[in-house]
Amino acid sequence: MKLKETLENLEDQVKERTKELLLANNYNRNLIETSLDPLVTIGQDGTITDVNVATEKVTGYRREELIGTDFADYFTNPQDAKDGYQQVFQKGVVKDYPLDIKNKDGSLTPVLYNASVYKDEIGEVIGVFAAARDITEQKKAEKKLMEYWESLEEQVKQRTEELAKSNADLKEFAYIASHDLREPLRMITIFLQLLERRYGDQLDDDAHEFIGFAVDGAKRLDKMIMDLLEYSSVVNQELIFNDTNLEEVLNEVILNLNVVINENNAIITYENLPVMRADENLMILLFQNLISNSIKYRSNKNPEIIVSAFKEGDHHVFHVKDNGIGIDPKQLDHIFTIFKRLHTHNEYEGSGIGLSIVHRIVHQHGGEIWVESEPEKGSTFKFTIKN
Ligand code: ADP
């Protein structure tokens, strides 16, 4: 009686355990099947022991067809798959191992595998559990990005070629300007002068004066062409950035302007000038233009020009201050425009290109330029240069 009772008790316990196991099994199966990632278990010999629905979908084969076959057969590169499988055995785990799954219908799915070994109850490795993450969308995005990148590179290449071409055109234009335009101009001057020499005694005073105006005009046009050439060479010039000592630049400028400085009794002082990254020749050109203007547009006082600098954020700020005639406030914005002049040729010589060269140089150095001025009192040209 006791034995029967014990047996019945045992049977109940077995039933209960079996039910529990079934439930747990069911639960695990459900978990596996609901996973969107293809999951697979592989035995030690490399054959598939279990798969989920996602694996059926991605391979195009049914579970029964897959189980028992070599897992490596379902990849475009079986050897890569086998190497990955070996790595799992050696390291116990692999992360983000890239492979391409081959479907029965020929379509491919790029995936990243994460796999680890699984062991029996005594700790013996009995196979590999592998989960694949479909990266088709990621690959598509990468491809799009690559294509975009390539098209950008192509555009940059095209733009560079266009720019190189327009630069070459400009250089050619400058060449034509210097040779072809100056040549007829020289003829006009020569023949006008010849006319005056040969027939001078037959001409009246007015005619002499008219010839003088015409020669003068031709000479000015020649000067404008030369200045335009200089401007175009500054525009096209490739900048050579070096550590540039601005005090040395100023010394050079003063040396170059020696004659006009002496003729005008000009006094030029400078203070706190930095050493900074800049194109030295262009810096000389810039200060030379500003200082020669300050002397040219002098008042009846002896010219006094002060050059100073200070640092503000990532810029150096420069001031070139003079005690000259000053500028009409209405004209302040226009003076940097090419060929813009505020005076007639008779008042002051010039072609209105100096300040546009200065403007260009400042911009090439990542800066801005402006002027503050009061008529009769003098002007201060202010500009920044990026450090
Ligand atoms: P240019 O001196 O050949 O006329 P710029 O481009 O150098 O050409 O200057 C443009 C105009 O700006 C000048 O015609 C002059 O009227 C004015 N200007 C330039 N610098 C000064 C200055 N320091 N003081 C007064 N006026 C100036």
Atom of ligand 1 nearest to the CA of 289: 7
Q: Specify whether the backbone of 352 is left (phi greater than 0), alpha (psi in -120 to 50) or beta.
A: left
The predicted structure's pLDDT at residue 168: 81
Strand 125-134's sheet: what is its strand order?
48-51, 39-43, 125-134, 108-119, 93-102
At 286 the pLDDT is 97
pTM: 0.61
User: At which of 111, 134, 157 does a domain end?
Assistant: 134
SS3 381: strand
Helix 205-236 × helix 182-199 angle, to 10°: 160
Integer Cα distance of 287 and 386 in angstroms: 16
Judge if 222 and 359 occupy the same domain. no
Clarify whether residues 375 and 265 are in a common domain.
Answer: yes
Pocket test for ligand 1, best of 226, 230, 289, 297 (most atoms within 8 A of CB): 297
Is 117 inside a domain boundary? Answer: yes
Residue at a domain's end among 134, 157, 173 = 134
pLDDT of residue 314: 92
Confidence band, pLDDT 50/70/90 cuts, at residue 228:
confident
How far apart, in whole angstroms, are the C-alpha atoms of residue 78 and residue 75?
5
80-104 pLDDT, tens digit each: 999 999 999 899 999 999 999 999 9
| CATH number reported for the structural domain that contains residue 264 in this entry | 3.30.565.10
Q: Could you tell me the residue range of the domain that residue 91 belongs to?
A: 35-134
Q: Give me the number of domains the chain comprises.
A: 3
Distance 186 CA to ligand 1 centre (A): 27
- d(CA 175, ligand 1 centre) in Å: 27
Dihedral pair phi/psi, residue 17, rounded to 5°: -60, -45
Is the CB of residue 386 less than 8 Å from the CB of residue 374?
A: no
Residues with CB under 6 A from ligand 1: 293-294, 297, 322, 324-325, 327, 335, 340-343, 350-356, 379
pLDDT digits (tens, 9 = 90+) for 283-317: 999 999 999 999 999 999 999 999 999 999 999 99
* CATH number of the domain to which 85 belongs: 3.30.450.20
For residue 326, the ligand 1 atom closest to its alpha carbon is 25
Domain boundary pick from 134, 150, 167: 134
Q: Which residue has the higher pLDDT, 269 or 127?
A: 269
- Judge contact between 309 and 274, C-beta under 8 A: yes
From the CA of 335, how far away is ligand 1's center (Å)?
Answer: 7
Neighbours of 332 (CB within 10 A): 14
Nearest-atom index, ligand 1, CA of 381: 23
Please report whether residue 351 resides in a domain. Answer: yes
